[in-house]
Amino acid sequence: MSTENKHTKLEKKREIGIITINRLEARNALNRKMLQELGDTLTCLENDVQIRAIIITGNKDFCSGADIKEMNAIKPEEIESFCRWGHKVINQIENMGKPVIAAINGFALGGGCELALACDIRIAGESAKFGQPEVNLGLIPGFGGTQRLSRLVGIGKAKEMIFTGEIIDAKEAESIGLVNRVEKDEELMAKAEEIAIVIAQKSPIAVKMAKKLINENQEIKKGLEKEIAFFARCFTTQDRLEGINAFLGKKKPEFKGV
């Protein structure tokens, strides 16, 4: 069974729900509509007793982050509530009572990398590329990346990625623990489904309890709340205008620290 929304698609294969992000014209950038579809689909899958594991993947790319054009049109006084809503959807992934596997192909940048970070297991295709390039826009990660990336790859590597905005390939992502494994692009979905099927055969209660316990040990809430406030602060700066205008104008930004 499959359902096609504007920017996402849901396919149910026996006990597995597969969400595919599908907004090719913007490299699968996350806009409001997509966030809403993701939230609604996750709620649907949470309530579906048939479904025991979920896979999130993307058409061609995984996700290039928040939609920069749409974000640029948001008034600074409204950014905090948008950021909070984004957090709600990303947290929903992390708090699902069923395991969520990210099958990452192509770019997973900014909010796209953060979406993958909220999943329980990350598998990358050889072509996958990861990064938190918000600093190039005069911004910081705003969908949980400051908290989840450091927990996964360690503080040193997380700082390097977030301060430089560097983009790393799948092999490096595997070597620092950002992804669990790398598969040939053409075998990515088969591997993700194989893992999902193994999990789906276990007791869903046991899997749910284990996930809850592992997550609850992370004490992430305070940091996430601060991230929302700091993101909103960055959004009021001239540097943010410089960074986003440079991206949209395909130029190099010159940051002045104001």
Which residues are part of the catalytic machinery?
A: 114, 134
Residue with smaller CB distance to ligand CO8, 69 or 221? 69
- Helix segments in the chain, DSSP class H: 32-47, 68-72, 76-95, 111-118, 145-153, 155-164, 170-175, 188-200, 204-216, 221-235, 238-248
Taking alpha carbons only, the member of 180, 111, 182 closest to residue 148 is 111
Place of tokens 């990303």: 90
239 near ligand CO8 (CB under 6 A): no
Closest CB to ligand CO8 among 41 and 136?
Answer: 136
Instruction: Tell me how far, at minimum, the Cβ of 160 lies from ligand CO8, in Å.
Output: 17
For residues 81 and 251, give the distance between their C-alpha atoms in angstroms, rounded to a whole number: 29
4's tokens: 């096609």
Query: Please, which residue, 82 or 130, has the CB nearer to ligand CO8?
Result: 82
Closer to ligand CO8 by CB, 48 or 230: give it: 230
CA distance 41 to 211: 20
Give the whole-angstrom CA distance, residue 124 versus residue 110: 16
Return the residues of window 89-118 that contact ligand CO8 according to CB under 6 A.
Answer: 107, 109-111
Kindly identify the residues of this chain, within the stretch 168-227, that bind ligand CO8 according to CB under 6 A.
none
69 makes contact with ligand CO8 (CB under 6 A): yes
128 interacts with ligand CO8 by CB under 6 A:
no
Q: Which of 21, 38, 143, 195 binds ligand CO8 (CB under 6 A)?
A: 143
Q: How do strand 167-169 and strand 129-131 relate by DSSP bridges?
A: antiparallel
Minimum distance of ligand CO8 from residue 50's CB (angstroms): 33
Shortest distance, position 134 Cβ to ligand CO8, whole Å: 5
Among 18, 19, 66, 161, binds ligand CO8 (CB under 6 A): 66
Query: What is the distance between the alpha carbons of residues 51 and 147, in angstroms, rounded to a whole number?
Result: 29
- Cα dihedral sign, 82-34-243-168: positive
Residue 42 Cβ vs ligand CO8, minimum distance, rounded to whole Å: 18
Residue of 99, 133, 204, 243 interacting with ligand CO8 (CB under 6 A):
133
Dihedral sign from CA coordinates of 110, 89, 184, 22: negative
In the complex, the residues that contact ligand CO8 under the rule CB under 6 A are 26-27, 29, 64-69, 71, 79, 82-83, 86, 107, 109-111, 133-134, 137, 142-143, 231
